[in-house]
Amino acid sequence: MLNAKTEKKWDHRAADTAGRMAAAAQFIGAGKQVRAADTVALLEAIIRPGDIVNIEGNNQKQADFLAECLNKVDRAKVHDLHMVQSAVPLPAHLDLFENGIARKLDFAFGGPQAGRVAKFIRGGKLELGAIHTYLELFARYFLDLTPRVSLICAFKADRKGNLYTGFNTEDTPTIVEATKFRQGIVVAQVNEIVDTLPRVDIPADWIDAVIESPRPFFVEPLFTRDPALITNTQILLAMLCLKGIYAEYGVKRINHGIGFLTSAIELLLPTYGEELGLKGKACTHMILNPHPTMIPAIESGWVDTIHCFGGELGMENYVAARPDVFFTGPDGTLRSNRAFAQTAGHYALDMFIGGTLQIDKFGNSSTATASRVAGFGGAPNMGCDAKGRRHVTESWLKCGQEMPTLNQVLGDMPRGKRLVVQGVETFGEGRAPVFVDRLDAWELAKNAKLDLPPVMIYGDDLTHVVTEEGIAYLNRCPDIDSRMAALRAVAGYTELGLAAKPEETKRLREAGIVRTPEDLGVNRNRADRSLLAARSIRDLVTWSGGLYNPPARFRNW
């Protein structure tokens, strides 16, 4: 039965890497340094046609110099690359496909280039692998989508090639580990090469080339919301959330998605939240970027712990001055880490709350439109029931106990469930109805040749929907028909909402499956901007004692 031992080579990858690095050796000096002017030549030496390549870039920091240099390579030498990266928000990311340098894309977040992604798919310029949630894409880096070459960014390198990524550590450790420990090649652009780093975030052993880029890497302040733009309706929704969900379930471990509703909730904590007696009972532990609108709640002593996916421009000094709350290093600055924050977001949170563009009649929701392949970032990872979870918290257990459908799948076995909340106004951006018969995601799937409609949160994961009409407690529904009725009951004057039957809604209210502001004792007349703990970016700066340093575009005073 034993095979004769044949001579087989088992180091193709390592040998191939050695060959590439030999070709690149002429550009790499002491401490792995490469002159910025040699970057294009370096990339031509280390990248081969068809390679799986990662350009670091998420919804925040970007290895933008390396992305631009990759666009300048000789496409006779470098073409048909398979890009695997968290996000493609820069024009340069899509130019690679326009220029024939890249062919296939696996990603998690599109941002401003979402329309181009869809257009390129239709035009045959871009083959879409799949849309992932961040952690899912990271997972595949260690199995079937390992980068051959990764182009990353850091604040500083020392003269040996150690890196300091600090506040914006984000995806870097994950990308580097997957690439370097599969005998791949890692190139870093850094803002500065120095003698001594504040701390080592990535060991020099893991890096092959370091380039001091001509300008600092780009960072987008994606999580900053100006309190001046929060509306009274958003404040009403925030009050409903706090009274009908945060207080009702005593939710301590939370992620807030991006948006004005969650900013409103954050700014109501020190006012309406304290009135409800929630301090110390809700929002004590958060997985969250350093949202500026969290400053009043943090200053008021609401928060025990925040772990961050990434940094947020302008929050550097504030975070460094609050080490009891944030994860900071021996040097005093934040260490963000998207992989670990998403892991905690999946397994350690009791609630995810966010918004969406559309919710269908069954409760499936998506931000996809017919012509934009947007991706969902972290929402699917946090906005789903973590089925592998085994530890119990009060709110998780209560949410599961309320489910009359659980015995249809588990018999008499009890289990909890994460709260997954969508807060939306019934008519959203451009007065488009949020509640729809069928998601635009179906149309996008057709247009972009996707295997499945891209759903952000599936109906069986969604537990609560909050609108200006009230809250639908979907977890309390005994079947899909009552779930559909509960959605109609809070869908307002949308076509779906107009199909609600008053008698049915009355029964749902009596059963506690739907609750209006009046049922909850939330006074609509109090939903007013005077309830916000801060009403402007300037107020946030004041709350922070001058530590928050908002980016120029938010300095409107």
Nearer to a copy of itself, 49 or 414 (CB): 414
Smallest separation, CB 17 to a copy of itself (Å) = 10
Contacts to a copy of itself from residues 520-539, by CB under 8 A: 530, 532-535, 539
424: DSSP letter: -
Nearest-angstrom CA–CA distance, 270 and 533: 6
Smallest separation, CB 458 to a copy of itself (Å) = 6
Half-sphere exposure of 467 toward its Cβ, with a 13 Å CA cutoff? 25
539: Cβ contacts below 8 Å, ≥ 6 apart: 227, 533
Q: Which of 196, 138, 186, 187 is nearest to 164 (CA)?
A: 196
Smallest separation, CB 393 to a copy of itself (Å) = 9
Q: Does 554 bind a copy of itself (CB under 8 A)?
A: no
| Length in residues, the chain | 557
Nearer to a copy of itself, 278 or 334 (CB): 334
Q: Does 10 bind a copy of itself (CB under 8 A)?
A: yes
Q: Among residues 39, 59, 146, 172, which is the contact residue for a copy of itself, using CB under 8 A?
A: 146
Smallest separation, CB 472 to a copy of itself (Å) = 16
Strand partners, 54: 150
Strand partners, 305: 285
- How many residues interact with a copy of itself (rule CB under 8 A)? 123
Nearer to a copy of itself, 392 or 498 (CB): 392
Strand partners, 211: 34, 189
Applying CB under 8 A, the span of 59-67, 119-127, 212-220, 453-461 interacting with a copy of itself comes to: 453-461
Q: Which long-range contacts (CB under 8 A, 24 or more apart) does 301-304 make?
A: 302/269, 302/270, 302/273
453: Cβ contacts below 8 Å, ≥ 6 apart: 366, 368, 439, 441, 442, 444, 445
Q: Does 195 bind a copy of itself (CB under 8 A)?
A: no
Applying CB under 8 A, the span of 60-68, 133-141, 214-222, 549-557 interacting with a copy of itself comes to: 133-141
Smallest separation, CB 461 to a copy of itself (Å) = 6
Nearest-angstrom CA–CA distance, 512 and 403: 12
Nearest-angstrom CA–CA distance, 132 and 159: 37
* Tokens of residue 126, six digits: 């871009």
Smallest separation, CB 430 to a copy of itself (Å) = 25
Segments of 400-530 assigned E as strands: 419-423, 435-436, 464-467, 470-473, 514-515
Contacts to a copy of itself from residues 391-450, by CB under 8 A: 391-392, 397, 408-416
Nearest-angstrom CA–CA distance, 465 and 548: 33
* Tokens of residue 78, six digits: 């470098």
- 3-state SS class at 369: strand
Nearer to a copy of itself, 85 or 337 (CB): 337
Residue with token string 């490469």: 34
Q: Among residues 116, 148, 156, 180, which is the contact residue for a copy of itself, using CB under 8 A?
A: 180
* Tokens of residue 479, six digits: 């079947």
Applying CB under 8 A, the span of 187-195, 231-239, 240-248, 301-309 interacting with a copy of itself comes to: 301-309
Applying CB under 8 A, the span of 86-94, 97-105, 422-430, 457-465 interacting with a copy of itself comes to: 457-465
Nearer to a copy of itself, 359 or 522 (CB): 359
Q: Which helix (H) or strand (E) holds 263?
A: helix 260-268
Nearer to a copy of itself, 73 or 319 (CB): 319
Q: Does 390 bind a copy of itself (CB under 8 A)?
A: yes
Q: Does 4 bind a copy of itself (CB under 8 A)?
A: no
- 3-state SS class at 365: strand
* Tokens of residue 195, six digits: 């003698």
Smallest separation, CB 504 to a copy of itself (Å) = 18
Nearer to a copy of itself, 119 or 346 (CB): 346
Smallest separation, CB 60 to a copy of itself (Å) = 18
Q: Among residues 247, 321, 370, 511, which is the contact residue for a copy of itself, using CB under 8 A?
A: 321
- Contact mark string toward a copy of itself, 159..178, x via CB under 8 A: ---x-----------x--xx
Phi, psi at 95, each rounded to 5°: -55, -35
Applying CB under 8 A, the span of 23-31, 88-96, 202-210, 520-528 interacting with a copy of itself comes to: 202-210
Q: Among residues 42, 53, 90, 382, which is the contact residue for a copy of itself, using CB under 8 A?
A: 382
Phi, psi at 109, each rounded to 5°: -150, 130
- Contact mark string toward a copy of itself, 324..353, x via CB under 8 A: xx-xxxx----x-x-xxx-xxxxxxx----
Q: Does 302 bind a copy of itself (CB under 8 A)?
A: no
Nearest-angstrom CA–CA distance, 261 and 227: 10
Q: Among residues 139, 247, 276, 370, which is the contact residue for a copy of itself, using CB under 8 A?
A: 139
Q: Among residues 231, 232, 233, 300, which is the contact residue for a copy of itself, using CB under 8 A?
A: 300
How distant, in Å, are the alpha carbons of 64, 114, 223, 406, 447 from that of 91? 10, 11, 21, 47, 22
Nearer to a copy of itself, 79 or 156 (CB): 156
Q: Does 451 bind a copy of itself (CB under 8 A)?
A: yes
Q: Among residues 191, 305, 447, 549, which is the contact residue for a copy of itself, using CB under 8 A?
A: 305
Phi, psi at 187, each rounded to 5°: -115, 130
Contacts to a copy of itself from residues 206-245, by CB under 8 A: 206
Contacts to a copy of itself from residues 477-496, by CB under 8 A: 479-480
Contacts to a copy of itself from residues 28-87, by CB under 8 A: none
Q: Is residue 257 within 8 Å of 225, Cβ to Cβ?
A: no
Give the 3-state DSSP-derived string for 37-76, with helices as H, strands as E and coil as C: HHHHHHHHHHCCCCCEEEECECCCEECHHHHHHHHCCCCC
Nearer to a copy of itself, 195 or 412 (CB): 412
